[in-house]
Structure 1
């Protein structure tokens, strides 16, 4: 069996229906001929992400969606790509970066995020309807925030957004986008060493070499705006299509939980989610995973596992167990910027529908173009209007 990728027409928020029919762990045929496994069960996926007998090392893994992995299958991850290595190397990078992403520091950013959201809502109101919510609101918020955090000039955002999109595509542009970002960030790192500022790149310059610092910045830059921007736009689309749930956003104690439920229900890492390779024979979900076999995680199915989530296909912003989702991962590789992403989404959704309570789609839902050709699922554009 190959990884199911086709969604049901007219159901843009639901994963491929074949995933729900699979057992928690099943055999999977990889594009390069590797025989591995697919985990669709929540318990099995959580076990894989927490067990040190499963490795994140790039050179050992096989891709479930393309013949070559995102940064070069069969080759060790370049210095600084900490998401693709194991401890103790991963631990070193994680320790350096954790101090930059503390909950306290992220909360100190919240007033700035509020201001950025307000400014873009003001601009939307001044320009009038209709507008594309992706370019007017969902993309600028996380892009501005990650630029300020890293010290990347925002005037270069068109370039790095285009390059980041290439990295996330499934059509072979990955290597080109990676090379373009590497050159750009390499030059930026050299400038920061000469003229340091109050930003993350400058703060890490004393601990990391040029190449690894540029690569750390690349991972954070791509992850820091691509995923959150897609969540803001796709989540807004989901809320527009579920008005009874959108009404719950008016309750202050529901907004934080709404973010968790949208993360669970949408699971935007629909194809290129986390995968691991067994370093030894491991029993998983009643199956024996042999040493060297890759286990891919189908997060859209994992986060709708009926054994963990009651009525999992229903969007319920007040769902009590929503935080059990694995959209941010689990274990030592759990998303470093998850608290920042949560704040951006909490502010983004709440302020959008406060400012435009009658916001609605400007086109039929079936005409909203979806990103089915990207590692990160979302909408290519979201035309909206208001009275």
Structure 2
């Protein structure tokens, strides 16, 4: 660690910790212990990133929500002080800007073109499709060998099949888009690797948009193609948007399925409550608690201050980078009593796992439906499901921008 003055405060120079911080080996479901210490002692403080920049880290729930809804905070990844997650991530954003890394009105214009497909009404209509996919994937896993890798046999196929159905992407291409997604979400990916993998996916979506221009169907890629034909969207914007939806639509939910299952298997009393409940509201509540407890987006929401902002006794200056740590904010005792306990009966709907404000996750209604169907079906259909390895042997995704497990051996 090194020392640095904290601009905008009268505080003396202090040690600046590296970010992201390591988790405790014995507690792989919990945020890094250093984040808890900062939340208690210095809830808005400087951290040092991979490129030696020193943005502010925000760790308290109330401060995080206030900043995520503040128009003086920008999501524009082209800003020179935007705190990118890695060199590969920075390179990717150079070549593929999507609405999640833009401010209004550009953000609202592009997001608005796909919002209807992720509305609660539209997603609820997909629930029978999701149920069919989940049941089919369980059937296939039960018919296969034991032990099985829950990630490859179930957690990845389910959301991949669902997002392919919604977008109109051939599921036969899942090996291709899953492999390139895996490259893009790793923190250790080099700029060249990110540029290559991102380019492959953009080219793929561009070809698919060309196909939909000639042969439109009832799917979201066809909707994007129609926007291109109407002159409302450039072909490159449409391809970038398609890549974003394809990646976000399978990678995040796949990790929640596997990690959530592992967490429940480590808490048999909580698993029993989910498995034995016939109340859809109880299963939905369990989904919210698992989202809060696990926080698969564990690198923080990244922003830049456009103006000076006074918050929590600190002045964040215009141009300062800001990292909003939703993982520890969701463990803030001021917002969630006994925050480190996994309690599926908790009312956790106010969590910030999907972010907050105008940039909160577009796909959260779809993710909720998928997780409700998965958690409400898998453990009831396989009541003897158990982990077929010691917890210490499970490879967790410490090196990825989305947290989860690379493998999860299970048997029954």
Scaled to the shorter chain, the TM-score interval is over 0.9
> In structure 1, what is the equivalent of residue 82 of structure 2?
62
Q: 1:325 to 1:349 in 2, by over 3 A?
A: same
> In structure 1, what is the equivalent of residue 292 of structure 2?
264
Three-state SS of the structure 2 residue aligned to 1:335 is coil
Q: 1:70 to 1:152 in 2, by over 3 A?
A: farther
Output one character per residue of 1:158-187: Cα deviation in whole Å (capped at 9) or x when no partner: 000001111101122322221110111111
* 1:149 paired to 2:166: yes
* 1:299 paired to 2:318: no
> In structure 1, what is the equivalent of residue 13 of structure 2?
none
* Alpha-carbon distance in structure 1 between the residues aligned to 2:27 and 2:71: 37
Structure 2 contact 92–198 (Cα < 8 Å) conserved: no
Identify the match of residue 315 of structure 1 among 342, 353, 359.
342
Identify the match of residue 217 of structure 2 among 187, 197, 218.
197
Q: 1:154 to 1:67 in 2, by over 3 A?
A: closer
Identify the match of residue 2 of structure 1 among 12, 18, 39.
18
* Alpha-carbon distance in structure 2 between the residues aligned to 1:101 and 1:300: 24
Q: 1:297 to 1:354 in 2, by over 3 A?
A: same
Q: Which runs of 5+ in 1 are unaligned?
A: none
Three-state SS of the structure 1 residue aligned to 2:45 is strand
After TM superposition, the structure 1 = structure 2 runs for residues 333-372 of structure 1, keeping only pairs within 5 Å, are 333-372=359-398
> In structure 1, what is the equivalent of residue 33 of structure 2?
17
> In structure 1, what is the equivalent of residue 309 of structure 2?
282
Structure 1 contact 63–69 (Cα < 8 Å) conserved: no
Structure 1 contact 168–174 (Cα < 8 Å) conserved: no
Structure 2 contact 326–355 (Cα < 8 Å) conserved: no
Three-state SS of the structure 2 residue aligned to 1:137 is helix
In the alignment of these two chains, the number of paired residues is: 381
* Alpha-carbon distance in structure 2 between the residues aligned to 1:95 and 1:62: 24
Three-state SS of the structure 2 residue aligned to 1:185 is helix
* Alpha-carbon distance in structure 2 between the residues aligned to 1:71 and 1:213: 20
Three-state SS of the structure 2 residue aligned to 1:292 is coil
* Alpha-carbon distance in structure 2 between the residues aligned to 1:356 and 1:25: 45
Three-state SS of the structure 1 residue aligned to 2:226 is coil
* 1:26 paired to 2:42: no
Three-state SS of the structure 2 residue aligned to 1:276 is strand
* 1:180 paired to 2:188: no
Structure 1 contact 37–293 (Cα < 8 Å) conserved: yes
Output one character per residue of 1:293-343: Cα deviation in whole Å (capped at 9) or x when no partner: 0110122111101111101111000112x1111110111111111000001
* Alpha-carbon distance in structure 2 between the residues aligned to 1:226 and 1:255: 22
Structure 2 contact 149–410 (Cα < 8 Å) conserved: yes
* Alpha-carbon distance in structure 2 between the residues aligned to 1:10 and 1:280: 41
* Alpha-carbon distance in structure 2 between the residues aligned to 1:189 and 1:6: 41
- The CA deviation at 1:357 is 0.8
Identify the match of residue 166 of structure 1 among 175, 180, 183.
183
- The CA deviation at 1:70 is 3.9
* Alpha-carbon distance in structure 1 between the residues aligned to 2:339 and 2:180: 35
TM-score (norm 1): 0.95
Output one character per residue of 1:90-121: Cα deviation in whole Å (capped at 9) or x when no partner: 11112211122111110010000000010111
Output one character per residue of 1:329-374: Cα deviation in whole Å (capped at 9) or x when no partner: 1111111110000010011111110011111011111111111111
- The CA deviation at 1:65 is 4.1
Identify the match of residue 35 of structure 1 among 54, 71, 76.
54
